[in-house]
Amino acid sequence: MSMPGWVVESGQDEGVPNVILFDLDDTLFAHREAVNAGALSVLRQLDVPPSTELEDAEVARWTELEELHYTRYLTGDLDYLGQRRARARDFLAPYGVEFVTDAEAETWFEHYLGHYRDAWDVYPDTMSVLGALADRRLGIITNGELDFQLAKIAATGLAPLFEHVIASGEFGFTKPDARIFHAACAAFGVTPSDAVYIGDRLHTDAIGATNAGLRGIWIDRLGATPADLAEAEASGVSVITSLAELPALLV
């Protein structure tokens, strides 16, 4: 989908990439921090004794359920609302909460989403780096539903900076499928070799983009294992720990 905004004609030297594509969640947008805040808010509304240890464990469990059921959605095992209902049911089951109807599970999840939305923000390094790349053409490739992702982009002030947003929910294929990367390149009218893609997941984002013919860059905000770093190197993937390191790579 095209986003409102500007397009700057390339003034770069030959060989310098002019199309820079980004993942959204946990790359530009602080998704994990918002998820944690939302989970903590709903947890504190349950009738459980306050405990930092319990809260940390339950926030981690919510994250695991998100990963499990959202992956099931991406692979077609669940639809979009189905993965939300599954997360709600699994999270509350240990507390003896059961939803008789799907509508009840969806209502509870909307309650969680209210707290999640209240915590929406970009990372501290996001806006300054996007400003430093103002002479490039910028886009987003995201696994998710287009309307939900566009809401994040608009709410955090990112919308004017991006020419195209490609979302798997609208496109029909998810990263790391090469087709979604190629669709983004086609939207910009460039070949994959003329584009760069930056994302927080080594396989889904960086290696997926590299295998599709783009230059893949992995932003490792959490601290990689030696095995992951070795795999990134073997795959030809550059690794950064902050977006502030990105402009120096794009020369």
Which residue range forms the structural domain that includes residue 239? 19-30+122-249
Same domain, 140 and 25: yes
Judge if pTM exceeds 0.95.
Answer: no
Which of 118, 145, 172 marks a domain boundary? Answer: 118
CB-based contacts of 76, cutoff 8 Å, min separation 6: none
Same domain, 87 and 44: yes
Give residue-wise pLDDT tens across range 178-214. 999 999 999 999 999 999 999 999 999 999 999 999 9
Give the dihedral of Cα atoms 214, 14, 185, 245; nearest 10 deg. Answer: 50
Ordered mean pLDDT values, 10 residues apiece, the chain (251 residues): 37 67 98 95 84 90 95 91 95 92 96 96 97 96 95 97 96 95 97 97 97 97 93 96 95 79
Output the CA angle 45-51-56, nearest 5 degrees: 85
The domain tally of the chain equals 2
Q: Does any domain span residue 14?
A: no
Same domain, 24 and 38: no
Give residue-wise pLDDT tens across range 39-67. 999 988 887 777 889 899 999 999 999 99
Which of 118, 148, 183 marks a domain boundary? Answer: 118
Same domain, 126 and 234: yes
Same domain, 71 and 168: no
